[in-house]
Structure 1
Amino acid sequence: MPGHSIEARASQRAFFGVSALLFTVSTAATIVGAVSMSAMGEMPMPGGWTMSAAWMPMCGQTWSGLAASFLGMWVVMMVAMMLPSLVPMLLRYREAVGGAGVTGLGWLTVVVGARYFFVWTAFGMAAFPLGAALAALEMQQPALARAVPFAMGVIVLIAGALQFTAWKARRLACCRTTPGRCLMLPALSADVTTAWRHGLHLGLQCSYCCAGLTTVLLVAGVMDLRVMAAVTAAITVERLAPRGERAARLIGVGIVGAGVLLIARAIGLG
């Protein structure tokens, strides 16, 4: 029907417009937040590295204030980093449930996206206390602090090796395929409950698939714009490239190389 076709095109344009606006705003906020964090300075640590202000409260800042600041920055950063690869998944969802001219498709898309980023928010809530506790130990134990550069290299090396595993290939395939096929869901229906569940499963699958790359982000510089840009590019390329599994392995080569360089540098400094 002509009317339905016009309405569908308008809905599609609105979807892309809102996505572009959200990406622009979140990217700008991420850059401002990272620059502000960088202006606070970093703390020199034994072993020749510096600790980010993201993990330790500055003068006059409470732990609760630091946690709120970290979580807010984390959520904005995740929106900017994950949205380029999330948009195709949301498009596939919209096609799966909107083919019969379903009403409220925009609202259902928002529900899926909100649940997806809820998973990443929970990940940030878990990462902060672990990172802060480790930072406190490193400040109290100089021997532990001196081991950080070597440990960082090993972690990055392992994260790179993960890119070559069958487990990674399965998770990546789930993020690139038709909704429901890898998510153990029944046929998608146009209701809020199904949208809520679908967003949860998308978020979980995506967090599994990005486990190695997210680990690199956390250990190499969670508020470093260069690291954020590199991880965002890697996630987007392996999701959208025609041969995603091959792209993931090429990215793995780069990460393994970075891990080897970090280990060599740590040994040289030691």
Structure 2
Amino acid sequence: MDNVGMTVRRHSGAPRAIFFGASSLVFAASAAATFVWCASMDAMGGTPMAGGWTMSALWAPMCGRTWFDAAVSFAGMWNVMMVAMMLPAVAPALWRYFEAVGDERAARAGGMTAMAGAGYFFVWLVVGVVVFAAGAQLAALAVEAPELAHTAPAVAGVVVVIAGVLQFSAWKARWLACCGNVPSCGHARLNVQAALRHGLKLGQHCLCCCANLMAALLAAGVMDRPAMALVAVAIAAERWVPAGARVARGIGAAAIAVGVVMVVRAVAA
């Protein structure tokens, strides 16, 4: 992605402190909501499945609710979870956008940056809808076919291994190399359409860059809080820590090891 048309002007420390202070509050609120959501899902229990795993109640409507209700609930909480997971990774890019559109128009720049953030998380909302649809179908299939359910833990391990292998690929290196640049924001036009479009570009880039790690999280269990935290740290670290390519390879090696352990345990069960 290019950064044509981006003219970044340096601001005093006050706007930066306000921006990252507000981002920290949003992160803390979304992380707390995610923790409560996961705890409530854990309290509901799940359905024991062939192969020694438990299917979460997340993938089916609760008693008295429709599939539409379940999808809306999942998509809403999924996006809250995405804010907690992805805000540390995207905040520096949103700050650069604020700098680009700020200057004498700083009063409106905050609002436009918030709109860019809304566009970014809209991409993840769409992903959440797709994830729920696919997860619900797979859950129904697992219930109907116990022999297929028995293979699920091993398949999950294979997915994690593949996600780790992709960390070493040229595809991954290319997307990570783009993370240092901000997509063009059309010469910093201050209007809602331009801000949303910028946020959508950021979201699409993020999705392509970390799709393998998100797949690993889904395979490990979307309600697994330690896995969620580790993937969030990994996504932020490979983008913003110096020598990000080396960090990405280290993450890949760890994912491969975890995936192999998952497969071995599944086969031995």
User: How does the TM-score come out when normalised to structure 2?
Assistant: 0.91
1:32 counterpart residue number: 36
Whether 1:154 aligns to 2:158 is yes
Distance 1:229 1:102 in 2: 34
Q: Which has the larger displacement, 154-163 or 185-194? A: 185-194
1:244 counterpart residue number: 244
Distance 1:244 1:99 in 2: 31
1:182-261 matched pairs, under 5 angstroms: 187-261=187-261
Aligned residues: 260
Equivalent residue for 1:74, pick from 53, 59, 78: 78
Unpaired runs of 5+ in structure 2?
Answer: 1-8
- Other structure's SS at 1:222 match: coil
Shift of 1:86: 1.1
Letter in 2 for 1:253: A
Distance 1:9 1:258 in 2: 42
Distance 1:243 1:188 in 2: 30
Equivalent residue for 1:178, pick from 163, 172, 181: 181
Unpaired runs of 5+ in structure 1?
Answer: none
- Other structure's SS at 1:60 match: coil
Letter in 2 for 1:157: V
- Other structure's SS at 1:61 match: coil
Deviations 1:210-230 (A, max 9, x none): 101110111211112111111
CA RMSD, Structure 1 to Structure 2 (Å): 1.9
- Percent identical among aligned pairs is 51
Distance 1:146 1:61 in 2: 29
1:5-84 matched pairs, under 5 angstroms: 8-84=12-88
- Other structure's SS at 2:59 match: coil
Distance 1:56 1:145 in 2: 16
Q: Note if contact 1:164-1:249 (Cα within 8 Å) is conserved in structure 2.
A: yes
2:127 counterpart residue number: 123
Letter in 2 for 1:242: P
Letter in 2 for 1:179: V
1:108 counterpart residue number: 112
Shift of 1:91: 1.4
Distance 1:256 1:57 in 2: 34
- Other structure's SS at 1:258 match: helix
Deviations 1:141-186 (A, max 9, x none): 01110111111111111111111111111111222x1313xx6x65
Shift of 1:242: 0.7
Q: Note if contact 2:186-2:194 (Cα within 8 Å) is conserved in structure 1.
A: no
Q: Which has the larger displacement, 99-108 or 227-236? A: 99-108
Shift of 1:188: 4.0
Distance 1:95 1:59 in 2: 49
Where relative contact order (Cα < 8 A, 6+ residues apart) is larger, the structure is 2
Shift of 1:13: 2.9
Distance 2:247 2:85 in 1: 18
Distance 1:16 1:244 in 2: 22
Distance 2:208 2:240 in 1: 17
Shift of 1:264: 1.0
Q: Which has the larger displacement, 91-100 or 166-175? A: 91-100
Shift of 1:187: 4.4
Shift of 1:100: 5.7
Distance 1:18 1:247 in 2: 28
Letter in 1 for 2:262: L
Q: Which has the larger displacement, 105-114 or 87-96? A: 87-96
Q: Which has the larger displacement, 63-72 or 53-62? A: 53-62
Deviations 1:39-59 (A, max 9, x none): 000211001111112112333
Q: Note if contact 1:19-1:87 (Cα within 8 Å) is conserved in structure 2.
A: yes
Letter in 2 for 1:222: V
Shift of 1:193: 2.9
Whether 1:93 aligns to 2:135 is no
